[in-house]
Structure formats: C-alpha cells, structure tokens
Amino acid sequence: MSGLVLSEVRKHFGPVHAVEDVSLSVPNGTFVCMLGPSGCGKTTLLRMIAGLEEPTGGSILLDGRDITAVPTHRRELGMVFQSLALFPHLDVTGNIAYAMTIRGVGTAEKKRRVGELLEMVHMAGYGDRSVAQLSGGQRQRVAIARALAVQPKLFLLDEPLSALDAKLREAMQVELRQLQERLGITTIVVTHDQREAMTMADQVVVMGGGRIRQAASPVEIYRHPADAFVADFIGSTNLIPLAVENGTATAFGKPLPGIAAPARDGQMLSVRPEDIILAPAGEGALTGTVAFVRDLGATIETFIDIGGHRLVAASSPRDRPAVNVGDETGLSFHAGNAVVVTA
C-alpha cells in the first residue's frame, strides 16, 4: 500500500510498556490526529515513526519500503516538535532555508522556495526578521515552513499549537488543515485536545494505555465510540449504567424503550449531553433533580442527579423548559442517539 503502515509496533522502556502492538494504515494525503490522555504513548509512537526512537518490535513501512531501521534524516520527514525550536541566531529566511542549504540547493532556487513558503504560511515580508521578534503564532508558522521546505513525504507534529492562546490556536488549526489539504501531504499530529483533532483530522487515533482504542473519522468516533473510554474522552458524554429486568433494558429501575437488553454485565449507554431532552417533571423516560445550571450563552447545561449518578443535558436556550436548582425534571433521549458501550 502507498502511505504509512505500522504493524504491531511496540516500545518498552524496561518495565514500562509505552506502546503495545499498534497497527495502523495511513493512506497518502491523510491528516491523522493521535489523541489520548497524558502518558498513553502518543509521543513515543510519533518518535518511532520519526526514527528518533527504536521500536522494541514490529515494523514501519513508508510507501511499501521498510523504514524501521532507516535513520531519521533518510526518512524524508518534516518535523515540528516542541523540542525542536527555531535557530535563534538565524533570521526567518535562514531558518526556512536551513535544510536546503545543507542539501546544497542553489541560491536562486532557495530564494524562490523561501518566498513561496513565506507566502504559504502568511508571512510574506518577514524574511529578514530575527526570530526573537516574532509572536508565538508567527514562530509556529516559521517552524511549519521550515519543516516543509524539503517537500517531505511525511509531516510529523507533536503538540505544535499547545503554547498558543485559545483564539490563535483555533485559527492555526484551520490554517494548518487548509495548508495540508493544498499540499496533499500525509500529516500526523499528536495532540491532547479533542477539539483540535476534530477540526483537523481525516482520521482520529484515540490511544489509551499504549494501545489504539479506536481509529476512525472524527464523526464516526463521536457518534459511534468503540468503548466507554473513547466515548468519555471525545467530547463529554453521559455514561448510564444498564440493567435487565424481565428481558427489558432498564436504567435507574425504569424501562428504556427501543434499547436492546444488554448482553453482558457492565454495559452502559453513552448519550451525549446535546441528545438529552428535558421534560416537565413526571414526563420523559427518567426523573431526576436539578443540581446545577451552567448558562454558557449559546447552550445551557443542566446537571441532574439521578440514582446516585450525575447526568448533564446541553439545551438550546430557546427550547429548554424553565427548571432551576432543586427542581425535579423529566428527561429522555431518542434510542437512536444512544450507543451501548462496555467499560
């Protein structure tokens, strides 16, 4: 297959199994975001793809060629890692042209390429600036241009936007995605920000405990999470414990029409906050007590205590019944919006 193929890649640091049997196919031109809680192994996996870490086992293929033992500088990569800062003694042009200089690219060609790259990252006219005089976002753009200067086969980024403030980060996410689409370059970004992953990725890889928990499109992951871990990690969700009474699925002792009886113990329903519908007390499938209300302007979150659990409903201010802290409220959801997950 053309693209990147990981087969049963493992990395053990002594007793720590940082990455365990990861297999993944990334077709050329795909934008992948690797996502997961701190310590789940995403940086270690990226470093193995980059050749900065040697796998304990498994293989890495790029366009059909086994690159598991190929050194980093022969892998045709562009990298933006937090630890790979810009060269402070070079100006913007010097930074971007660096890899081309090493490869002996001619002066005229270098100048043309730098101009093109500066244009691409919206920094035309900044070539002579010292990198010390740039804002965080501009520095990030220069790092991206520098990494793309040698037209890599694979573009690897580790938390590239995490140092930026929220507004700039969101703008850069869109820019990075548009740039990647224009260049058609296979890109792998490590992030712990699920909104970032959903903004940019064709394919989201959710990792937990060194393993891939699910690899799919953002929408697939959001709507059909593979398990409770993924459901809880991507967006927020309500995990409602399921039980069976007389062959029917129940929650908190109430029957749930349209939900199949759980086949095993420990199964739960994942229902997104925006799929919970509030109803007057006594109506709706379930009844609980309002514990807290958070009015975020665009949505109102209602936290509801029910059978020792706390659920959250996110409603539009226009169609939310007027319920306050301490009130009883009904709540329901469409069976089609609930996913049965296992812990």
Q: Using an 8 Å Cβ cutoff, are 55 and 44 in contact?
A: no
Q: By C-beta, is 15 or 297 nearer to ligand ATP?
A: 15
**Contact with ligand ATP (CB under 6 A) among 1, 23, 39, 178:** 39
């920000």: which residue's tokens? 193
Q: Which of 36, 218 has the CB closer to ligand ATP? A: 36
Label residue 115 exposed, middle or buried (CB < 10 Å: 0-12, 13-18, 19+). middle
Neighbours of 128 (CB within 10 A): 9
Backbone angles phi, psi at 319, to 5 degrees: -125, 35
State which of positions 192-221 bind ligand ATP (CB under 6 A): 192
Q: How far apart are CA 122 and CA 106, in angstroms?
A: 24
Which residue has 């900065």 as its token pair?
52
Asked if 198 and 204 touch (Cβ cutoff 8 Å), the reply is yes
What is the closest distance, in whole angstroms, from the C-beta atom of residue 129 to ligand ATP in the complex? 31
Q: For ligand ATP, what does the binding mask look like between residues 163 and 192, x meaning CB under 6 A?
A: -----------------------------x
Binder among 22, 24, 40, 143 for ligand ATP (CB under 6 A): 40
CB of 250 to ligand ATP, least distance (A): 38
Q: With contacts defined by CB under 6 A, name the span among 31-39, 120-128, 164-172, 214-222 that binds ligand ATP.
A: 31-39
d(CA 245, CA 130): 70
Q: Does 30 bind ligand ATP (CB under 6 A)?
A: no
By CB under 6 A, tell whether 41 contacts ligand ATP.
yes
Near ligand ATP by CB under 6 A, which window of 10-18, 141-149, 169-177, 221-229?
10-18
State in angstroms the smallest separation of the CB of 94 from ligand ATP: 30
Q: Nearest distance from residue 325's CB to ligand ATP, in Å?
A: 36
Residue 83 engages ligand ATP in binding (rule: CB under 6 A): no
The minimum distance between CB 13 and ligand ATP, in angstroms, equals 3
Q: Say if CB 140 and CB 149 are below 8 A apart.
A: no
Q: Which is nearer to ligand ATP, 16 or 343 (CB)?
A: 16
Contact window for ligand ATP (CB under 6 A) among 13-21, 79-87, 166-174, 256-264: 13-21
From the list 22, 42, 208, 215, which residue makes contact with ligand ATP (rule: CB under 6 A)? 42
CB of 42 to ligand ATP, least distance (A): 4
**CB < 8 Å & 24+ apart, contacts of 35-38:** 35/191, 35/192, 35/193, 35/194, 35/197, 35/204, 35/205, 35/206, 35/207, 35/233, 35/234, 36/192, 36/206, 36/207, 36/208, 36/213, 36/233, 37/192, 37/208, 37/233, 38/192
Nearer to ligand ATP, 18 or 314 (CB): 18
43 is an interface residue for ligand ATP by CB under 6 A: yes
Nearest to 164 by CA among 83, 82, 86: 82
**Per CB under 6 A, 292 contacts ligand ATP:** no
Identify which of residues 36 and 225 has a Cβ nearer to ligand ATP in the complex: 36
| Position 18 contacts ligand ATP (CB under 6 A) | yes
Contacts with ligand ATP, residue ranges (CB under 6 A)? 13, 16, 18, 36, 38-44, 192
